[in-house]
Structure 1
Amino acid sequence: MLVVFPTLVKTTFIERPNRFILLVKREDTGEQIEAHLPDPGRLKELLVEQATIWVEYVDKSSRKTSWTAILCETKEGNLVSLQTTIANKLAETAIREKRIPSLRKWSIEKRECKVGSSRFDFLLKNDQGKKRLLEVKSVTLSRTGEGFFPDAPTARGARHVQELTKLTEQGRYEAAILFVAQRNDIRSVAVEAIIDPAFAQSIMEANQANVQIVAVSTNLSKDKIAIGQEIPFLI
C-alpha cells in the first residue's frame, strides 16, 4: 500500500512544451532541464508560474529525458502526485491487504482484464464466486478540499463507465469504480460536470445501475505515498 520515492530534486516550473514534457529550473544549480510528465491531464491549476516541481533523476539511455516529474507543490504547501499509474499500484496493494472497507470482501483475480473491446484495470472475485470489474481513476484537481474528476474531457473514460454499466445491467459482471485522490488536501470526490458533462452523465447512470463508486484519500509526502482512508464520493 506504499510507494517510496527516491531522492527528489526541487525545481521551479517554467513551461510545458507538450503534454508529456516540462521545462523546469533546478533550485540547487540554476540549470534548466526537461522532465517527463507522467500525467497527460490539463493540470492548469497546478502548472502555474513559479510552481514547485519535485523531479527524479532516471539513468536510462533509452529515454529522451533524464528526469521525471514526481510531485507538484501548490502555493499553499499541498503536495500532488504527477504519476497517474501510481493509483493502480496503490489500489492493487490496498485491495490485497483489505485496506478499503467497501472492497474488503474482494480479491484480485487478474490485472488488465479484457472484456469485449475494452480493457479494465482489474478483475476481482469474492468467496461466493462472483466476478467484479474495477476501473481506477486518479484525482488531482481540487477546490477547497473537494476533489474533482476529470480535469479534461475523457471520451475513453466515459466509454469505460458506460460499458461497466451495460455489463452490470446484463448481469455478466458486477462493477466498481475507484477514485484515488493523489493529493493530501482532498476530503471528498465528485465529478467535474462542467469540464466533462458526458462523463458526469455516465457516472450518474452507472450509479443508478448499482455500479459501486468508491473514493479514497492518500497520505502523501516528499518520501512516499500510501492509501489513506475511504472518503465520500458525492453524486
Structure 2
Amino acid sequence: MRASMDFPKLQAGVLERRYKRFLADVLLPSGERVVAHCPNTGAMTGCAEPGSRVWLSHSDNPRRKLSWTWELVETESGMACIHSARANAVVREAIESQLIDFAEDCATLRSEVKFGAGSRVDLMAEWDDGRRQLIEVKAVTLCRDRGVGVFPDAVSVRAKKHIKELMAVRDANTRVALVFCVFHEGIERVAAAGDIDPDYAHDLAAAAAGGLELLALKVSLDPRHLVPDGLLPVLVD
C-alpha cells in the first residue's frame, strides 16, 4: 500500500502575481484578495503564471504574518506542488514504505541531521554496525518538452555546495545519495539544467561517477494529498 502525505483542507483561487520571491496575491472565489506565503526560493518557471488556478492552505497561528500558504498550481502540463519543503516528508515516506530501499533494516532514520563541518543533510539512515546513508532531497518543478524535468531552475550555489559536502564524507561506511522529488505531473524523467547552471551539471555528473547515488521519485499529487508513486529515470551527461 502506498503511503501518502495528506494536505489540510485547501482553498482554491486564482494567482494574480508572485512578487518579492516569497509573496503571492491570490483571488479567492468569494472575491477576496489575499496575500499568501510562497514557500519556494527558485525561479518557478512555468509555475507562477498570472491567471493560474492555485490551492492554498490556511493557518490559525497568530504568530504568523501570513495565514495563507501557496501549495499547488495547475500548469499547462499538469499539477505541480510548489511547496518545496514538503519534499523531505514525501521522500521519507517513500523510504519508510520501502519504495526507496536506502534504509532497509536500519536502526534509525533521522531528518535534518548535522554532519561534516556543521552542515545538515535532509535524511540520514544509520545501522548498528556503523554504516550510514546520507540523503539530500531536491524538489523538481521545472518541466520542459517531452516530459523532461530539470534542476535547478535558477543558478544555485547552495545546491552545488550540497554535492561537494556529500562527496567529502563518502567513505567505506558512508553511502551518499541525492533524491530528486518530482513535484510536477508532466515530468517523466529528470536531468540537470546545464543551460541554467552548467557548474551544477558538471559537479553532479562528476559526483555520480564518483559514487553519488541518484534517484528521481515520482509523486502523484492533488488537492488532497501527495503520494510517492515509483521511480523515474535520471539522465546524467
In 1, are the aligned partners of 2:93 and 2:228 still within 8 Å (CA)? no
17-26 vs 103-112, which moves further? 103-112
What displacement does 1:104 show? 5.8
Find runs of 4+ consecutive structure 1 residues off by over 4 angstroms. 126-129
Unpaired runs of 5+ in structure 1?
none
- Counterpart residue number, 1:97: 97
1:158 aligned counterpart, secondary structure: helix
Aligned CA distance change for structure 1 residues 152 and 10 (closer, same or farther; 3 Å): same
Q: How does 1:1-235 map to 2 (within 5 A)?
A: 1-26=3-28, 28-76=29-77, 78-101=78-101, 103=102, 105=104, 107=106, 108-115=108-115, 116-126=117-127, 129-143=130-144, 144-168=146-170, 171=172, 173-235=174-236
2:26/2:34 contact within 8 Å kept? yes
Separation (CA, whole Å) in 2 of partners of 1:180 and 1:220: 12
**Secondary structure at the counterpart of residue 88 of structure 2:** helix
- Mapped partners of 1:148, 1:32: distance in 2: 33
User: TM-score, normalized by length of structure 1?
Assistant: 0.91
Q: CA RMSD in A?
A: 1.8
TM-score (norm 2): 0.91
8 Å CA contact 2:218–2:229 kept in 1: the answer is: yes
SS at match of 2:44: coil
Q: What is the percent sequence identity of the aligned residues?
A: 29
Could you tell me whether the CA contact under 8 Å between 2:45 and 2:142 is conserved in 1? no
Cα gap change, 1:158 to 1:225, in 2 (>3 Å)? same
- Give the CA deviation at 1:173: 2.1
CA deviations over 1:59-97 (Å, ceiling 9, x no partner): 121111121111011134x11012111110011121122
Contact 1:54 1:72 in 2 (8 A): yes
Relative distance call for 1:234 and 1:13 in structure 2 (3 A) is same
Secondary structure at 2:121 match in 1? strand
Measure the CA separation in 1 of the matches of 2:141 and 2:60: 27
Equivalent pairs counted in the alignment come to: 231
Amino acid at match of 1:3: M
